[in-house]
């Protein structure tokens, strides 16, 4: 049960009031948190102070003059000013928190997107260059790192206290979360959503490095195959190319340049071909049937891992509309409107 096993945080760290501030927005979030504590603390003290004061001053045994009540007009004034002050304070909190939330939610343009898949009970990571890690994530300091979070099984939560990052990894969805590490070092990673027997062991670390060290680290990982290249070979090995690529007799929509475009549906209307759409089309092909095509595609649910889906999506995103790798004839072959 010692720190050696890594199950218990060491006591000293547990006693610190705040975790280290190691990301660009950690300070701002802490300031907001302190602001809330101060406002709530002040209100609590005020209310309890007045209760104590009045119960002493107007205790039944004490002969205090009670006939001099404030006039209706001045008590209205008191009520209005209390209401007004509350309104200003709470709208202030609302404005501050919304501003902060939107800043963090939208985030700046990301320098890189790293895929993170939660799985009972580990975090599987793949860098854009192809490097994979388990329960460890190396990132460069001073760059905006975006994570594309998903889960292979149940809901997990990616939690890095020192970065003030906590975001659910939900099966069937892609969630984005970003951070910018400000100091090199190692930071604890936890799963913050109860996800089964070994939830407490689902932990790891973030290693923040100077950009040059990060580049060197990437280089040291040996020859890597980029996710889109891995995706291209999966596209063939799972047989996707049999229908979605040239020469095939089976009619299936061309996938060149599909990403980021509206797709007309057989049911009428269109759907935007984003990452979620591509994922759904692999696992639940009947959900969005493309106009002009029969619903004949089989589901790959249960046969393909989340990591592989991400690689196939990376491949499809890399295809340009004029890409000759995919069937140009499919565009004209169908009787699609
Ligand atoms: Cu994964 Cu808790």
pLDDT (tens digit, 9 = 90+) per residue, 182-230?
999 999 999 999 999 999 999 999 999 999 999 999 888 877 778 888 8
Q: What is the pLDDT of residue 14?
A: 55
Q: Is pLDDT of 232 > 60?
A: yes
What's the CA gap between 266 and 236, in Å, rounded?
26
Alpha carbons within 13 angstroms on the beta-carbon side of residue 332 total 2
Q: 151 CA distance to ligand 1 centroid (A)?
A: 10
The structure's pTM equals 0.72
Residue 334's pLDDT band, with cuts at 50, 70 and 90, is very low
Question: 258: Cβ–Cβ under 8 A, 6 or more apart, which residues?
Answer: 273, 278, 316, 319
What's the CA gap between 289 and 280, in Å, rounded?
11
The average confidence (pLDDT) of the chain is 83
The residue written with tokens 């999506």 in the block is 313
91-105, 232-246, 247-261, 296-310: the lowest-pLDDT one: 247-261
pLDDT (tens digit, 9 = 90+) per residue, 53-95?
989 888 878 777 777 777 778 888 989 999 999 999 999 999 9
Q: 150 CA distance to ligand 1 centroid (A)?
A: 12
Pocket residues for ligand 1 (CB within 6 Å)? 118, 121, 156, 191, 193-195, 199, 202
Q: 3 CA distance to ligand 1 centroid (A)?
A: 20
pLDDT (tens digit, 9 = 90+) per residue, 268-281?
888 888 888 888 88
Which ligand 1 atom sits closest to the C-alpha of 194? 2
Q: What is the pLDDT of residue 240?
A: 81
H-run or E-run covering 235 = helix 227-237
What's the CA gap between 242 and 228, in Å, rounded?
18
Which ligand 1 atom sits closest to the C-alpha of 169? 1
β-strands 203-209, 136-140: how paired?
Answer: parallel
Which ligand 1 atom sits closest to the C-alpha of 191? 2
Q: 200 CA distance to ligand 1 centroid (A)?
A: 7
Which ligand 1 atom sits closest to the C-alpha of 202? 1
Q: 204 CA distance to ligand 1 centroid (A)?
A: 12
């Amino acid at each position: 049960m010692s720190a050696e096993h890594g199950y218990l945080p060491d006591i000293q760290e547990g006693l610190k009031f705040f975790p280290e501030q190691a990301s660009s927005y950690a300070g701002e979030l802490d300031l907001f948190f302190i602001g809330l504590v101060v406002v709530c603390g002040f209100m609590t003290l005020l209310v309890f102070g007045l209760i104590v004061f009045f119960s002493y001053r107007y205790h039944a045994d004490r002969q205090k003059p009670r006939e001099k009540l404030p006039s209706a007009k001045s008590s209205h004034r008191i009520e209005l000013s209390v209401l007004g002050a509350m309104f200003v304070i709470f709208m202030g909190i609302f404005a501050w928190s919304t501003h902060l939330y939107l800043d963090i939610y939208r985030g700046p343009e990301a320098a890189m997107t790293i895929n993170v898949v939660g799985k009972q009970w580990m975090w599987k990571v793949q860098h854009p260059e192809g490097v994979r890690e388990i329960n460890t994530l190396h990132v460069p300091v001073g760059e905006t790192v975006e994570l594309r979070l998903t889960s292979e099984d149940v809901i997990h939560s990616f939690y890095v206290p020192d970065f003030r990052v906590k975001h659910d990894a939900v099966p069937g969805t892609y969630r984005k979360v970003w951070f910018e590490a400000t100091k090199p070092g190692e930071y604890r990673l936890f799963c913050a959503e109860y996800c089964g027997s070994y939830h407490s062991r689902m932990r790891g670390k973030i290693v923040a490095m100077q950009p040059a060290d990060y580049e060197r680290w990437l280089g040291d990982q040996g020859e890597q195959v980029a996710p889109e290249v891995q995706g291209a070979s999966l596209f063939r090995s799972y047989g996707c190319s049999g229908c979605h690529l040239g020469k095939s007799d089976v009619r299936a929509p061309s996938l060149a340049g599909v990403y980021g475009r509206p797709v007309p549906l057989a049911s009428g209307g269109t759907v935007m071909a984003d990452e979620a759409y591509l994922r759904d089309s692999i696992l639940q092909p009947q959900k969005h049937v493309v106009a002009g095509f029969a619903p004949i595609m089989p589901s790959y649910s249960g046969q393909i891992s989340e990591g592989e889906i991400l690689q196939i999506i990376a491949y499809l995103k890399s295809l340009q509309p004029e890409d000759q790798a995919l069937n140009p004839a499919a565009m004209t072959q169908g009787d699609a409107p």
